[in-house]
Structure 1
Amino acid sequence: MKKTVFALAGAAVLLAACSKSAPPEEPVRAVKVITVGSSAFASSHEYAGEVKAQVESRLGFRVGGKIIKRQAELGQHVRAGQVLAQLDPQDYRLAADAARAQVAAAATNRDLAAADFRRYKELKDQNFISGAELERREATLKAAQAQLEQAQSQLAVQGNQANYAALLADVSGVVTAIDAEPGQVVAAGAPVVRIAADGVRDVVFSVPEDKLAGIKLGAPVKVRVWAQDTELPGKVREVAASSDPVTRTYPVKVSIDAKEPPALGATVYVVPEAAGIVGMPVIKLPTTALRQEGKATAVWLLDKASMTVKPQVIQIATADGNDVVVASGLQPGMLVVSAGVHVLSPGQKVSVYQKNWAAAGANTAQAAPDSIATATAAVPAAK
C-alpha cells in the first residue's frame, strides 16, 4: 500500500515538472494619442521661380570682325562706358584713312571750282562772257561743294566704324554670360556679353493654362526665398500673352523692390495672395501614426473605455511633408495612436503617455490633462 502511495506521489511530481508554466502578462505600452478632427479644405497654389534682373541686355559689336581681347569676366560688376571686348581695328582704320584722303581730294576740287567761279564772275562784270557761262561755273562749284560734304560724311561714318571696334557697357550691372571668346570672328550684332542691369529685380515663374485666370496684372504676391527662408512682397508686373512653345505654360514676371534683393538666379517660391481655395472638410494625420497592414495602410484606434487598441484601415489622399491627408476610414472624434505603433498588437492594453504635445496638422492644440490632443487638417499647398 505504501509503495502505491509513493508511486502516485512520484508520478504527480513528474507531471508537475513536465507541465508548462503560465505565460507572463504582456506589458502595458505607453502611447501618444490624438483626437481626430476636421477642418475646411484650404489650399493655395505655390509656384517655383527664379530671380532675374528686370533689364538684361545682350551686347554685341555693331560691326563684324575678329575679337582680339575680352576684358569682361563672368560675374564681374561693370560700369556704364567700360570696355568689355575689342575687335581688330586695322581694317576700319585703313577705311578711315581712305575716307580722309577723299575729303582732301574733294576739298581741293571745291577750292579750284570756287577760284574759277570768282574769275568768271569778274569777267561777267566786264561783259567779256555771257551769263550762261557764269551759271555753268556756279553749278560746278556747287557740285564740288556737295562732293566735299559727301566725303566728310563718309569720313564720319568710317570713324564711327573704327570706334565700334570697342564694345562698351551701356549700363552698370553684372556680367551674366559670355557668348564669344578672343580669336572668334563675329558678325555685326552677334551677342558677345550679357549684362544684368543694377536696380529692380524680377521673379520669373510659369503658370499652367488652367491657373492663368487667377493671375492678374498688379496683383500682390508673396515671394519666399528658398535659401534664406525669408518672405518678400511682390506685385505681378507682366503676364505673357502667349504660352511657351516648349512647356506650353505662361511666363509671369513679378517685381520685387528690396534693399538687399536675392542673388541673380536664386530659387524662390511665389504664392498669389488670392489663390486660396475652400471646400469640403478633410482629416490630416502625422506619418508617425501610420503602419503597413498587408498592402493597406492602417492606424491604431484607442478604446478609451477598455484602454485597448484595434487596427483601422484608411485611405490616403495626398501627403504634405510629415503629414498625410486621409481620404476615408476615420471620423472626427476617434482616438488615434500617433506614436508607439510599431510595438502594438490587436486588443493590447495601453496607457496614455503623460507628457504629450501632439503635432498633427496646421492647427495643433495643447495636450489635454489626459494627454489627448486634437488633430485638425489643412490641405497641403499645391506646387
Structure 2
Amino acid sequence: MATKTLTAGVMLLMFTLAGCSADEQVTDTSSSQQHTSLPVEVSDVMFVEHEQWQALGQLLPAQQILLSMEVGGRVNERPVTRGDQVNQGTTLIRLDAEDFVLKRNSLDASIKQLAADQRLAFSDRDRLKAMLKRELVSQQDVDQIETRIESLAAQLARLNQERALAERQINYTQLKAPISGRINQVMIEPGQQVQPGQILLELIQTDALIVLTHLPAHRMAALPKQAKLITPTGAIELRLFEQEPLADPVTGLFAVRYQPIADDTNAKQALAKLPLGERYSVTFEQPLPNRLQQIPGSALIDLGQGPHVWQVIDNKAQLTDVSLVRLHNGVALIQPTLAEDSKIVRHGVHRLQPDQAVRILND
C-alpha cells in the first residue's frame, strides 16, 4: 500500500513539472515573438478630391521707385528717413535754390524792361503812322519801328521761356513723393552735393504689395487663380496677379505673383504691417481630375520595381505596389488601389522584410 502511494506521488510530481515546463515554453515563445517583432508607426489611407499643397512666397512691393533730382545742387534739407511712411506730394528733399531764384529775378527785371520798351515802341508806331498821313515822315520810318516791335516781341518771348525754365528749376529743387508709400533706402545726407539723375531715395508702394512665389512646370498647366498667404497674424486671401512666361534657366521654376483681393481693405492693411522681403507659406488648393488616395511621402519605398508601400496585415508587413501620381511637400498622391481601412507603415520602411512581424505603436 505504501508502495502504491509513493508511485502515485511521483507520477503527480512528474505531471506538475511537465505542466510548468509547457507553460514556460509558451511564455518564452510569446516573449520571443514580441522581442523579434519590429515596432512601427502607421498611417491611414485618405481619399481626396482636392489637392492642397504649399510653396514659399516672398512679400514684395508691386512698385519700387528710384528717386533723383532733375537739377543739381547742395542738399539743404531731407525731412524723411528710412522707414518713414509718406503721402503723395510729401516733400522728401530740398536743394539750395538761391542761384535759380536769382536767375528768375534777373529775368523778371529784363522782361519788365522789354515790356516797357515794347509799350514805347507801340506808341512811337502810332505817332509815326499819324505823321505819315500828313507826310511828315517816310514809310521807311514806319517800317523801322515795326521791325523794332517785332524784335522786342521775339526777345520778350525768349525771356519768358527762360523765366519759365528758371521757375521749373526752382520747383525741381524740391523732390516730392510721386505716390504714397514707404521710404526704403536713403542715399544722401544734408549738405552733400548732388547731380541731376543721381539716385537719392527708394520709395516703395505699400498699398500695392504682391507675393512672389516660384512654381515647377507641372503646376503651370492648371495654375490656381486663388491662394492663401499664411502669416503669424492669420491667413490672407490672394488672387493671381501675373506670371512669367519663361522658367528660370537655372532652377527651372516659374515666377508667379499673387496679390490681395482688390476690395479687401483689411487684407491690404494687414500686408502693409508685415516686414517686406519676409517669406511666408502660400497654400494652394485645386480640384483633382480624379479621386485619388493620399499617403505620407515617407511611406513610399522603391526597391527597383517601382513605388511600393508596406501594409500591415495580421501584424505582418506586406509589400504592396502603388501607382504614384505626384509627390510634393512630403505628401504622395496615388491611384486608389488600396483598401479604405489599410494601415500603411510611414517611417522606417527600409528596415522591413516581407512577412516580418510588426507591432503598431500609434494605433
By the TM > 0.5 criterion, same fold? yes
Deviation at 1:160, TM superposition (A): 1.8
Measure the CA separation in 2 of the matches of 1:326 and 1:171. Answer: 47
AA aligned to 2:111 is V
Instruction: Provide the secondary structure at the position in 2 that maps to 1:225.
Output: strand
Measure the CA separation in 2 of the matches of 1:312 and 1:212. Answer: 35
Aligned: 1:230 with 2:239: no
AA aligned to 2:233 is Q
Query: Retained in 1: the 8 A contact 2:42–2:360?
Result: no
Deviation at 1:53, TM superposition (A): 3.6
| 1:203-214 matched pairs, under 5 angstroms | 203-207=211-215, 211-214=219-222
Change (3 A) 1:121 1:160: same
Query: Retained in 2: the 8 A contact 1:87–1:165?
Result: yes
Measure the CA separation in 1 of the matches of 2:255 and 2:168. Answer: 39
In angstroms, what is the RMSD of aligned CA positions? 4.9
AA aligned to 1:237 is F
Count the aligned residue pairs: 320
**Structure 2: which 5+ residue stretches go unaligned?**
1-24, 302-307
Query: Retained in 2: the 8 A contact 1:40–1:278?
Result: no
Change (3 A) 1:80 1:283: closer
Measure the CA separation in 2 of the matches of 1:270 and 1:35. Answer: 26
Aligned: 1:261 with 2:270: yes
Deviation at 1:32, TM superposition (A): 6.8
Change (3 A) 1:187 1:48: farther
- What residue in structure 2 maps to residue 177 of structure 1? 185
Counterpart among 284, 288, 300 of residue 295 in structure 2: 284
- What residue in structure 2 maps to residue 81 of structure 1? 89
Deviates more, 1:156-165 or 1:137-146: 137-146
Measure the CA separation in 2 of the matches of 1:88 and 1:100. Answer: 20
Query: Retained in 2: the 8 A contact 1:34–1:336?
Result: yes
Post-superposition Cα deviations, 1:6-56, rounded to whole Å, max 9, x if no partner, equal xxxxxxxxxxxxxxxx99673747967647647579756644333334444
AA aligned to 1:74 is R
Measure the CA separation in 1 of the matches of 2:222 and 2:328. Answer: 23
AA aligned to 1:230 is A
Deviation at 1:58, TM superposition (A): 2.7
AA aligned to 2:225 is P
Identical-pair percentage: 21
Measure the CA separation in 2 of the matches of 1:267 and 1:133. Answer: 83
Post-superposition Cα deviations, 1:273-304, rounded to whole Å, max 9, x if no partner, equal 55x655796673586x899xxxxxx9987563
- What residue in structure 2 maps to residue 117 of structure 1? 125
| 1:99-138 matched pairs, under 5 angstroms | 99-138=107-146
Query: Retained in 2: the 8 A contact 1:235–1:256?
Result: yes
More helix by share: 2
Query: Retained in 2: the 8 A contact 1:68–1:87?
Result: yes
Deviates more, 1:146-155 or 1:190-199: 190-199
Instruction: Provide the secondary structure at the position in 2 that maps to 1:129.
Output: coil
Measure the CA separation in 1 of the matches of 2:345 and 2:233. Answer: 36
Instruction: Provide the secondary structure at the position in 2 that maps to 1:261.
Output: helix
Change (3 A) 1:157 1:336: closer
TM-score (norm 2): 0.65
- What residue in structure 2 maps to residue 145 of structure 1? 153
- What residue in structure 2 maps to residue 377 of structure 1? none
Deviates more, 1:57-66 or 1:71-80: 57-66
TM-score (norm 1): 0.62
